[in-house]
Amino acid sequence: MLQIYNTLTRSKQPFKPLHAGKIGMYVCGVTVYDYCHIGHARVMVSFDVMTRYLRWRGWDVNYVRNITDVDDKIIRRAAENGESVEQLTDRMVAAMHEDETALFVLRPDHEPRVTGHMDNIIRFITDLIDKEYAYLASNGDIYYRVEKFSGYGKLSGQQVDELRSGARVEVDELKESPLDFVLWKAAKPGEVSWPSPWGAGRPGWHIECSAMSRCCIGKTLDIHGGGPDLPFPHHENEIAQSEAANSCTYANYWMHAGPVRVNQEKMSKSLNNFFTIRDVLKVHDPEVVRYFLTSAHYRSYIDYSESSLTEARSALERFYQALQGVTPAATADGVSDRYETRFCEAMDDDFNTPKALAVLFELVNELNIAKRQASPDLPVLAAELKRLAGVMGLLQQDPDQFLKGPDREGELSGEAVDVWIAKRAQAKADKDYAEADRIRQWLLDQGVVLKDSREGTTWYRQ
């Protein structure tokens, strides 16, 4: 049975969906004012792996991930760039999709944008006002009454009394309580805005997810996910809004991906250790980055460093070297189900990808033995490896394509390597083994490793 760690209960729980065989999953997406960074990639890949696995096991998953395309950061950045909010966000959304495609991340079923759901957001705020959970302030903003909601703090473990005592008292006090948060911001001169019953304005950050998740999935979600910084205040505020408006549980399971550190430090622009996905992909193969992100459990922190990516590259090379020169069978029929069974046991244990990868490495070992012995099981073992790795979005490339890589400035081209391999083959045919060995060593010095087999010589870059 699938077990999921629930942030709300701080424990693993058997997964029981609202509707048999169906899962409604909402994940908080990106605020598109800049290029996505490696922390965004962690969330994207983590929930992509979960979705792939759940569907592979037969679940009908409705995966929704929103896009925040209007907020303070976006408005400021657009003004700095001398472009409209729409121009900035459209450009950043296109860039995000490019990054996702490179990382083999599948698109969600629905990708609602805040600007496309203003009617739903206004309707949601109206519901809260009607139930007296929200009020109009003197400046035209709408605020949520935090202390009216008795369950506030249950997700993050925050206590209302402690929050109240530590709250900053604003000079121009517009709120009934310092804990109250904004649902609707009255328009300022020159800002993008939308009409509402309370005047022109735009939504606060928290309300958008409550409104869009209700529209795209329903009043109660099976799973609500997001990044490590969201339990408080964002998800706590979502719970308060949604359960007050809908009079029912908002989400049955809360899942949060762990943080990314850089060389054991918190990733931060102020520390100058902030990496966008596209900058990382200029240096590293996208599948190496994806493997790196799946090599740690989704809830744990992961340390981004050049050594970590080198290790990820080495691990993937082992997979592709095992597959190199092998034509996988059309199906994996005939392979014992011991690998699939253990793979599923790992993934059913709160999507434990490190344990799942360990099972795949055992399969690689058996595949290598089969290659050495020219076993008739070789094609079906290769098919099983690709099938199970594919559930994690891995081994998506041709082995030669991955191992040889693109031609880079300062390296031997693939065409040049093939010429030297032909020269070495001729030397061996002429029984000039010293020359053949010299060529092998020279290529190794250039970062090219040769592998001889009955089928001929293959190569890959170190």
- Which residues form the domain of 86? 16-257
* Whether residues 51 and 183 fall in one domain: yes
Give the pLDDT confidence score for residue 342 in this predicted structure: 97
* Whether residues 389 and 276 fall in one domain: yes
Give the pLDDT confidence score for residue 379 in this predicted structure: 95
Asked if residue 120 is part of any domain, the answer here is yes
Give the pLDDT confidence score for residue 280 in this predicted structure: 95
pLDDT reading at 281 higher than 70? yes
- 239, 151 contact by CB (below 8 A): yes
Residue 269 annotated as part of some ligand binding site: yes
User: pTM to 2 decimals?
Assistant: 0.91
Q: pLDDT class for 168, splitting at 50, 70, 90?
A: low
* Whether residues 439 and 299 fall in one domain: no
Give the residue from 160, 162, 153 showing the smallest Cα distance to 236. 153
* Whether residues 20 and 125 fall in one domain: yes
Give the residue from 153, 134, 146, 253 showing the smallest Cα distance to 198. 134
pLDDT reading at 262 higher than 70? yes
Number of domains present in the structure of the chain: 3
* Whether residues 248 and 125 fall in one domain: yes
* Whether residues 450 and 350 fall in one domain: no
Domain CATH number, residue 272: 1.20.120.640
Asked if residue 371 is part of any domain, the answer here is yes
* Whether residues 398 and 410 fall in one domain: no
* Whether residues 59 and 126 fall in one domain: yes
Residue 410: is it exposed, middle or buried by C-beta count within 10 angstroms (0-12/13-18/19+)? exposed
Q: pLDDT class for 171, splitting at 50, 70, 90?
A: very low
pLDDT reading at 169 higher than 70? no
Residue 132's region, left for phi above 0, alpha for psi from -120 to 50, else beta, is left
- 148, 132 contact by CB (below 8 A): yes
pLDDT over 70, % of the chain = 97
* Whether residues 381 and 455 fall in one domain: no
pLDDT reading at 387 higher than 90? yes
Q: Tell me the per-residue pLDDT of 34-68, one tens digit each, with 9 for 90 and over.
A: 999 999 999 999 999 999 999 999 999 999 999 99
Distances (CA, A) of 435 to 162, 166, 176, 245, 426: 77, 77, 86, 79, 10
pLDDT reading at 165 higher than 70? no
Under DSSP, is residue 266 helix (H, G, I), strand (E, B) or coil? strand
Residue 215 one-letter amino acid: C
Q: Tell me the per-residue pLDDT of 85-134, one tens digit each, with 9 for 90 and over.
A: 999 999 999 999 999 999 999 999 999 999 999 999 999 999 999 999 99
Distances (CA, A) of 386 to 328, 368, 383: 8, 14, 5
Under DSSP, is residue 292 helix (H, G, I), strand (E, B) or coil? helix
Q: Which of 402, 426, 444 is the last residue of a domain?
A: 402
Lowest average pLDDT, out of 245-259, 297-311, 354-368, 415-429, goes to: 415-429
Residue 351's region, left for phi above 0, alpha for psi from -120 to 50, else beta, is left
- In angstroms, the CA 186 to CA 457 distance is 69
* Whether residues 233 and 273 fall in one domain: no
Pairing of strands 221-226, 251-256: parallel
Residue 98 annotated as part of some ligand binding site: no
Of 408 and 384, the one with more pLDDT: 384
For residue 240, the 8-state DSSP code is: H
Q: pLDDT class for 418, splitting at 50, 70, 90?
A: confident
Q: Quick one: average pLDDT of 22-27?
A: 98
Give the residue from 230, 209, 426, 455 showing the smallest Cα distance to 324. 455
pLDDT reading at 190 higher than 70? yes
- In angstroms, the CA 141 to CA 150 distance is 23
- Mean residue pLDDT of the chain comes to 93
* Whether residues 317 and 443 fall in one domain: no
Give the pLDDT confidence score for residue 170 in this predicted structure: 52
Residue 234 annotated as part of some ligand binding site: yes
Lowest average pLDDT, out of 15-19, 154-158, 184-188, 402-406, goes to: 402-406
Q: Tell me the per-residue pLDDT of 229-244, one tens digit each, with 9 for 90 and over.
A: 999 999 999 999 999 9
Q: Quick one: average pLDDT of 203-220?
A: 97
Torsion angle in degrees (nearest 10) through CA of 44, 257, 395, 460: 100
Residue 131 annotated as part of some ligand binding site: no
Asked if residue 239 is part of any domain, the answer here is yes
CB atoms closer than 10 angstroms to residue 132: 10
Q: Which of 209, 227, 257 is the last residue of a domain?
A: 257
* Whether residues 71 and 219 fall in one domain: yes
Give the pLDDT confidence score for residue 29 in this predicted structure: 97
Q: pLDDT class for 174, splitting at 50, 70, 90?
A: confident
pLDDT reading at 450 higher than 60? yes
Asked if residue 419 is part of any domain, the answer here is yes
Residue 57's region, left for phi above 0, alpha for psi from -120 to 50, else beta, is alpha
Give the pLDDT confidence score for residue 410 in this predicted structure: 74
pLDDT reading at 183 higher than 60? yes
pLDDT reading at 291 higher than 90? yes
Across 161-175, 319-333, 352-366, 369-383, the highest mean pLDDT is recorded for 352-366
Of 55 and 168, the one with more pLDDT: 55
Give the pLDDT confidence score for residue 166 in this predicted structure: 63
In our burial notation (b when 16+ CB lie closer than 10 A, e otherwise), range 360-397 reads beebbebbeebbeeeeebbbbbbbbbbbbbebbbbbeb
Domain CATH number, residue 145: 3.40.50.620
Q: Which two tokens stand for residue 435?
A: 């020359």
Q: Which of 356, 387, 402 is the last residue of a domain?
A: 402
Give the residue from 394, 327, 320 showing the smallest Cα distance to 357. 394
- Cα angle 226, 68, 272; round to 5: 70
pLDDT over 90, % of the chain = 81
Helix extents (H) in 179-252? 205-216, 236-246
Of 348 and 401, the one with more pLDDT: 348
Q: pLDDT class for 382, splitting at 50, 70, 90?
A: very high
- In angstroms, the CA 38 to CA 227 distance is 12
Asked if residue 77 is part of any domain, the answer here is yes
